[in-house]
Amino acid sequence: MPNSYAFYGASQADCPPVDPYYSALSSPRDLYDALLSLWCADTCAPRMRKDWSKDNPTLGQCSITAFLVQDIFGGEVYGIPLKEGGFHCFNKVGQCVFDLTSEQFGSLPLDYVHVTPQSRKEHFVKEEKRLRYEKLKASLQSLLRDKMN
């Protein structure tokens, strides 16, 4: 594993995909590599878009990324309570705990112990969030199709 992975849990993110469609992604690190070219202002949470940049591509991408990870690798989505009332989402697959979007917090420590299970149904009540998730998923599928051809 290259030393370039700075997301939380990168060293233990070794679970294989549960959906054969995504077999080209051998681990969440491969997904992270793909998402670096797909995360954009349009997939960022609207309240954070003005601060989104290619220098901080994970900003505002947590819930849609965590549910996409769940589609591909299975497991559960959990949320870390934030001061402003929301949750920062991350994944647990078996004994692997990882957070592909943790870098948006820089050196701010996050508590991956006192967490709350997150529901896709609750998150996607917000249509804009569901649409951002669908856009990210479609972009990933297109990228994988292009690599296969």
Segments making up each domain of the chain, as ranges: 10-141
State the Cα–Cα distance between residues 30 and 48, nearest whole angstrom.
Answer: 26
2 pLDDT above the threshold of 50: no
What's the mean pLDDT in 113-142? 97
- Residue-level pLDDT at 130: 98
13-48 residue pLDDT tens: 999 999 999 999 999 999 999 999 999 999 999 999
Average pLDDT over residues 3-7: 84
| Contact between 44 and 60 (Cβ < 8 Å) | yes
Judge whether 82 and 116 are in contact, CB under 8 Å: no
Q: Is the confidence at residue 1, as pLDDT, over 60?
A: no
Cβ distance 100 to 82 under 8 Å? no
pLDDT score, position 34: 97
Residues 62-117: tens digit of each pLDDT? 999 999 999 999 999 999 999 888 899 999 999 999 999 999 999 999 999 999 99
What is the pTM assigned to this prediction?
A: 0.95
3-state SS string for the chain:
CCCCCCCECHHHCCCCCCCHHHCCCCCHHHHHHHHCCCCCHHHCCHHHHHHCECCECCCCCHHHHHHHHHHHHCCEEEEEECCCCCEEEEEEECCEEEECCHHHHCCCCCCCCCCEECCHHHHCCCHHHHHHHHHHHHHHHHHHHHHHC
How confident is the model at residue 3, as a pLDDT? 54
Does residue 4 carry a pLDDT above 90? no
